[in-house]
Structure 1
Amino acid sequence: MISRLEITLMPLDRRTLLSTGLIATGFAATTASAGAGPRARPEATAPSVLSVAPTSGDQTAEVQAAIDKAAERGVPVVLAPGRFQVGALTLRPRSHLIGTPRQSVLQFIGGATFLAAEGAPDVRLEGLVVDGDRLAMDAARATSLIALVDCEAFVLSDVVVREGLLNGIGLTRCSGRVNDCTIAGMSDAGLLSLDARGLDIAHNFVTDCANNGIQVWRSAPGDDATIISGNRIERIAAKGGGTGQNGNGVNVFRAGGVLVANNRITDCAYTAIRGNGADNIQMIGNSCSKAGEVALYAEFAFEGALISGNVVEKAASGISVTNFNEGGRLAVVQGNLIRDLFRREHEIVDVRGIGIGIEADTVVSGNVIENAPSAGISAGWGPYLRDVSITGNLIRNAGIGIAVSSDAAGGACLISNNMISRTQNGAIRTMDHAVPHGPDLASADAQPPARIVVSGNVAV
């Protein structure tokens, strides 16, 4: 029987050759053959790639054979345009699969896993469509359509991952990069990383996922240092329920030193970027809109958050740095533009409508907040207030300009040189939790508590 697996020298375009390192090897082989004269034996030259063409029916065995042979020979597998119907495939160390972008489709036909690798360094997938076809996998054996475990220096580039009943891409103890990919229609998260060892997630489009867009988690608190930059994330639901563990564009849990920069995130059921117990998280230069809860969140047991240069539009709250009761502390909130917030009147307690909320060891400076129906800036909650500086901000059209906890157990708060315009319930007010009381501290004759210093503010 003639095998459908073709082993050929493929004419590749310059970009593919550069990405696979074949220009030098292919050119050298050609030159050597041409210069050898009558003694040259082209038929003995090893193939530069393995090529597989689509056919009807199950091609799992055929594609797996190509993966295995290519790994043995150290060459890529090139998948021709078309639809390959396959089940579980295992990637080998240095497996390299190349397709024609958006035309070479691996369509899942069922099985415990789909594309999986464990302990396989230098895996590369480029220009493929990975289609889960809404078919179930064994959740005990696979977290994702593409599941990599203990894989170093992997590359996923220009891959479309779609229609999966679990996560799209699952990475466990991996290093490498995911770039220029599209992840759409997942029943859980678009991308889930656990215990990363050096990960870049850049310039991807993540959309229409049921619970989270990009999750960077650790099994225990520790340094992670994943970089999440330049991604577009939209329409993230919270079908798994809960009070914030789902419904986030970017969800960082226990992972320290994560940088989330220059992303465009919109239409998230809860939060655009949520750091939970994430030390030294940075949220810089992101554009966030239509968040059902807090757009940018640093919460629970974290130390260190830098939230700077972001634009937030249409959220229940703009920025929250909270949970001093759990050890959440130490932040800079600077140079953000926050506008058009709303109150969730259907909520019994957590109504929000606050531009920036902070609690402990935090500087808030140079922010512009407009249309915050509850408060522009809220400092503290009951006794949970310590060493807060609020300076040089512009607040326009707010219920209260700056609200600060009046609890005697709270710590010091400096409020100076802010511009506060068009507030309905006072420019600077002390609060008993959510209830304002006492005079407007922006007035010349007001006497704030000794631990609250108010100076140089302009209220109009």
Structure 2
Amino acid sequence: MKESPLTSRRDLLRLAGASAFALMASRSFATTRDGGLRGAIDAADYQPTPGAPDRKRVSLQKMIDQAAAENAPVFLPPGTYKASNLVLRENTRITGVPGVSRIVYTGGGNLFSAEKVKHIELSNIIIDGQNRSLGDDTGGLLQFTGVAKVIIDNCEIANSRKHAVRLERCGGRITGSRISGSGQSGIYAVESDALSITGNEVFDCGNGGILVHRWTKAADNSVVNGNRIYRIKANDGGTG
């Protein structure tokens, strides 16, 4: 029997939506039929309501802690979530819907930090520092120290007063992300261990685009390749 063609705009939208979720699943975790993540801790369960006051930070932190303990990803449905000083535990994995899951920094320190853990992942989320002040002992909106494997994939990180991402003694990869509007550099990495920084777009930063440094003489084994970097200033001197 001859197959009938698509007969309505609704059919086209349904197929387009299915294709979008299939693409998201192929880039990170398996999705459920309603667009969530199979086995994930869903932000809706903890009611860190998009757009709610910063007191919801406690719910986000509780959600991160439980997901890490259960070795499950955290899924952020579409919306804007306000938070600060979130600590990423061992094996934290946070993902959202690209372009519509947004976390904004409310001030008072940093947005994300992790120290001396083996593995953390951030994917498919927008992170906005809103140009708010960071803590005196904080170098970046995202600050990771001694993390064996940091994965940042398909994220947008914008408007940090200092570095957008500051890594010290970390490995892993930063890929396919857009980083912009930082007062200092987009990515600052020191004493890295085979860190890969590839396929990113870094622009409109005040004091360098991607900076990879060492304090001690040793093999760094880092790779910086295929990034697009433009409109970079040198506010602290030099050429940018």
Structure-2-length-normalised TM-score: 0.82
The match for 1:354 is none
Shift of 1:221: 2.8
Cα distance between partner residues in 1 of 2:187 and 2:226 = 15
Shift of 1:14: 3.7
The one-letter code sitting in structure 2 at the alignment partner of 1:194 is V
Runs (5+) with no aligned partner, structure 1 = 1-10, 27-46, 249-460
The one-letter code sitting in structure 2 at the alignment partner of 1:102 is G
Partner SS for 2:107: coil
Partner SS for 1:130: strand
Asked whether the equivalents of residues 125 and 155 of structure 2 are also in contact (C-alpha less than 8 Å), the reply is yes
Match of 1:230 among 217, 226, 238: 226
Q: Determine whether 1:160 maps to 2:178.
A: no
| C-alpha distance 17-139 of structure 1, shift in aligned 2 (>3 A) | same
Asked whether the equivalents of residues 133 and 163 of structure 1 are also in contact (C-alpha less than 8 Å), the reply is yes
Shift of 1:55: 4.4
Cα distance between partner residues in 1 of 2:27 and 2:73 = 11
Q: Determine whether 1:110 maps to 2:118.
A: no
Shift of 1:17: 4.0
Q: Which has the higher helix share?
A: 2
Cα distance between partner residues in 1 of 2:117 and 2:29 = 20
- Summarize deviations over 1:160-212 as a string: whole Å, max 9, x none: 11001000111110010000011100001110000000111001000011110
The one-letter code sitting in structure 2 at the alignment partner of 1:90 is V
Match of 2:194 among 178, 194, 198: 198
Cα distance between partner residues in 2 of 1:13 and 1:121 = 29
Cα distance between partner residues in 2 of 1:73 and 1:65 = 12
| C-alpha distance 194-212 of structure 1, shift in aligned 2 (>3 A) | same
Identical pairs, percent: 27
Asked whether the equivalents of residues 107 and 134 of structure 2 are also in contact (C-alpha less than 8 Å), the reply is yes
Runs of 4+ in 1 over 6 A off after TM superposition: none
The match for 1:270 is none
Q: Count matched residues.
A: 212
| C-alpha distance 219-158 of structure 1, shift in aligned 2 (>3 A) | same
Partner SS for 1:68: helix
| C-alpha distance 64-232 of structure 1, shift in aligned 2 (>3 A) | same
Cα distance between partner residues in 2 of 1:156 and 1:21 = 14
- Summarize deviations over 1:229-276 as a string: whole Å, max 9, x none: 1110001111112xx3xx43xxxxxxxxxxxxxxxxxxxxxxxxxxxx
Q: Determine whether 1:185 maps to 2:181.
A: yes
What does residue range 277-356 of structure 1 map to in structure 2 within 5 Å? Answer: none
Cα distance between partner residues in 2 of 1:70 and 1:20 = 16
Asked whether the equivalents of residues 77 and 98 of structure 1 are also in contact (C-alpha less than 8 Å), the reply is yes
Q: Which has the higher strand share?
A: 1
Q: Determine whether 1:51 maps to 2:59.
A: no
Structure-1-length-normalised TM-score: 0.44
Q: Determine whether 1:220 maps to 2:216.
A: yes
